[in-house]
Amino acid sequence: MNLKSRKFLVKLFICTFVVCIISSYAYAKMTSDVPMRKPSVAIKYNGKIVPTSIGEHTWSGSLPKGQKAGSSYLVGPSYDAGMEVSGFSAKPNSEVEVTFNSAPPEIILRLWSVGDSVNDTTIKFDSSKKVNNITLPDKKGEYIYEMNGYWSERNYTSTIFRIIIE
């Protein structure tokens, strides 16, 4: 084998190797249920974004060479965080639209009546939808909601908001 053939084979091997690495990365990104970055959540009532607070969340991922990276945010009790959020007025049995920019496989909604921080209602959705509608209570009162999106046990978000049903 002459020198030109050897150089050509080395270049071909390197190009093939680079294409395989890039293709593997792209395939992993396309088939993974867990986004690389923490998704954002928008909550709307009658087409307008409502005031929210970021609740507890953890987001982790992998870097090259097997290194781990991530972020977490710890909050006190979600009920207390909800008391700090400005409430907005809504009609009984109306709907709130919750939009994730990347759909979580599982959503857990927690609901408290203001004045009762102990008893909460928990509703679990097995959802892979980016947009979810939540029907508000039919009774007048003030309520705190916590919307949790779970992609995995190390990748979850929480968004808290407060509603006044008139």
> In the chain, what are the domain boundaries?
1-31, 41-165
Q: What is the pLDDT of residue 51?
A: 96
For the record, the structure tokens of 162 come out as 């407060």
Identify the CATH number of the domain defined by range 41-165: 2.60.40.10
For the record, the structure tokens of 19 come out as 């294409």
pLDDT tens column, 17-50? 888 687 766 655 554 556 777 888 999 999 999 9
Give me the chain's average pLDDT, please: 85
Nearest-angstrom CA–CA distance, 44 and 51: 9
Q: What is the pLDDT of residue 10?
A: 78
Residue 16 has pLDDT above 80, yes or no: yes
Question: Nearest-5° angle of CA 98, CA 58, CA 67?
Answer: 130
Nearest-angstrom CA–CA distance, 41 and 99: 6
Burial of 19 (0-12, 13-18, 19+ CB in 10 A): exposed
Nearest-angstrom CA–CA distance, 55 and 102: 18
Q: What is the pLDDT of residue 83?
A: 94
